[in-house]
Amino acid sequence: MEEVIHARGHENVSAEHASTFEVTTDDFLTPAGDCILAIEADRAPADFDPAFVDACRDADATITVTIEAGGHRESIEGRGDPDLELTNDRSAVGRTSEYVDDRTILTDAEFAAEGVDRRLVEALADGAAATVTVTVA
């Protein structure tokens, strides 16, 4: 199962955060938002199909977020959690920890924003269109 989000980069994308990465529906990004990879997302976790959300709530589920922009691609793998809500209408957040809130789309991510390929980060900082695919297996 998968959900696809279309968004875009922004000049303030720095991808320096050590424990999270985020895609937001917000239309702006300040330099403080060092976990945000893309803005103006056309969808948020609250828009995900209920069957997809249920699949993400399996503790044994593998959730992968693949970000593509400017001819570059990065995939980040994590896991599902029974406590995932996926109800936020603004932001989708991947976490290297087991912390869960309404924005969390996966836990125990193999890396966060700081681990994203720098060529992809540069494309996003140049404002490239981004496709973010969230898959659960």
Q: What is the CATH number of the domain that holds 31?
A: 2.60.120.630
Closest CA to 36 of 59, 52, 20: 20
Closest CA to 92 of 30, 1, 26, 27: 26
CA distance 43 to 25: 7
| Predicted local confidence at residue 50, as pLDDT | 97
| Predicted local confidence at residue 38, as pLDDT | 98
CA distance 71 to 78: 24
Q: How confident is the model at residue 95 (pLDDT cuts 50, 70, 90)?
A: very high
- Residues near 80 by beta carbon (within 8 Å), at least 6 away in sequence: 55, 56, 57, 58, 59, 60, 61, 62, 63, 106, 107, 136
| Predicted local confidence at residue 110, as pLDDT | 98
Q: How confident is the model at residue 4 (pLDDT cuts 50, 70, 90)?
A: very high
| Predicted local confidence at residue 72, as pLDDT | 98
Domain that holds residue 44: 2-136
How many structural domains compose the chain?
1
pLDDT in tens, 29-64: 999 999 999 999 999 999 999 999 999 999 999 999
Burial (Cβ within 10 Å: 0-12, 13-18, ≥19) of residue 21: buried
Q: How confident is the model at residue 99 (pLDDT cuts 50, 70, 90)?
A: very high
Q: pTM for the whole thing?
A: 0.97
